[in-house]
Structure 1
């Protein structure tokens, strides 16, 4: 009899919890339409046992978003994979054909192409990797389309944000550059697109794709010491031709904390937005800039990272929110759940819902906001950060206001450079290729550390 009553009591407690609010509406004046784009198949792929990229982090994120009932605050979409033709809007036909054809079973037949296309430990051939790439890219393109149609003011795809992939090769765990594809799509309807990257690593693939145009401004906050992957992202990388001064890089040292990072971010991004006057923004929210990340070297907490995206949201400009890096899955999912709440303008209960699947994965504290800011010494002095800020703002002053663009210049048409500009671009590409060759093996070893 006692057991029966205990079971009934437990059953009623669960039912009660189904109606328990896990968030509080903030009721600010800006109430955008937010959409959430997610295909559950994308979390079913596996890079390999020892590989730090774990797509199941997306399942954990989705479970948190559902557990906190944030679906009540958004339009939900199940996107289709990107088509081959859509992927070829940026990537070469030869490269996409290779991704389609190669598998773990037949990889030995593609030895020459594997070397040509930079396939190795960091970007391995795993079962279904073409389908995986098409899924996350399709979700970003679906989110982009909702912004273009005006049905969404903010569109979220946490499976996207893979910013290292190049036109004809993968890089840094990224096979297809969904960010570039999304920006290309936006450029057909928006005169100016701003790209913001707060991943630990430099957003080199996106910067390279738009290095010669004034229609896209790229701003990347990242670790830089000349050796850390991908080795690019110094202050002197400013763009070429029409794109000169439209690439901004904010190189940082290890251990930067919330206060320093957020202060610098706001000090840079407010004048960027005021000067460039973007009509759409793409924000890459890589979670490897959090403290305690498996590959990370910063000390950011979840709310500090979230404060940056909250600041960008406050401008009320159409916004595409994407994921990116992040190699401690439980903290990745915490971050992207929190930033979903920021976009939907609600405050979440710090204690994770009791009915959450995989709740024990967040033991021992079962908190949405663990302390992640205490691991490393902050090597970013006030003087160093002020110097970085001064150099970035000096570059920004060269813009002299928002560029007047020709809407008929749709990529790849904007790559019409003078002979001098072409030589400058070739020299830049040669330097980058040489750097990548020199650091290829060491970068891979560093990325795949246990």
Structure 2
């Protein structure tokens, strides 16, 4: 029921990448300089996300043609996303962190590897060396641009003719859904097709109320000291971890859903809720190192949720900002160890149902009067059904698209499988002394 891929003995450490050239790309159509308001949700997500997308050899399309089409697509789309070509700064009008739409642009690097794409091994495996396929936000081009760009692109060619598109993007600009729309629009422009959709840039739709009205307790948020210099989710470093890949096939997930359906009559369990509950249990039980942990000790799982449809009125689907919050569920150590999975799935379901319009407004207002970050004993982020692999570029759809696993971020990632079996790859960060216990729990609870 599911399988674990051990660390491949041939996992490459050096992808032998050489940068050939770097250029700055500014919007094709310039707009009047302005400041873009950032919501309290945006401000918490002030950190970079690195994404790698792999493509096969393109018959009849030269390297130069691919780079030219990509450059043209980026240049055209930046006219619609002028904030993406801007820089972070403090708006002098209100003293808030904001984006200064300077039209300074983004960076596009072209590189090549001495390897063939197939020599990279299993693309699904969380290989930290994939970071070599992403351009750094430093160097001569960045120096010429001035302040650090919000986004960099890197095309890396392999000896076989395949290539990787690496993107480093500040999460403060996009959530997963709006990032996908951004890439879809670049792909459309590069292929001379109509835009996928027009972005909605009105981030005041998620502004705090005046005065703020915090009407709920928010245990999923951790307050930082008033003099804290960073409000990023990952501003506090965690012990260095290693990511391991666990695959749950579609039939395994179906079995979990059927089992939970028999254990709860409250709702129809979803695949996401079942997988989240299973991982929450295994992560806590494998990580708790207390000599005699109290059975009544409470552990939480926090998971990112799209809030567009949960607001009244709803946010536009095209909202080009961060419309995600951390839902949470709690259970005692005893429940995580002994309770049927259905009970934990109920808790996850209740955590999602808690995210109402009133709760969202209270969370946003909490961020107006507090400096803080989302908090949970287990953090889960799902790219499972984001659909980055489905984007149609002029050179075809990707083989695979994935984030670069960061060993300093203790967050479980859910990703689709290359095999398209509708299963899920679970990338789980673990300390070395927790791996065998997690592996044992992962299988034992699947069989119960």
Q: TM-score range by the shorter chain?
A: under 0.3
More strand per residue: 1 or 2? 2
User: Could you state the TM-score of these two structures normalised by the residue count of structure 2?
Assistant: 0.24
User: Could you state the TM-score of these two structures normalised by the residue count of structure 1?
Assistant: 0.24
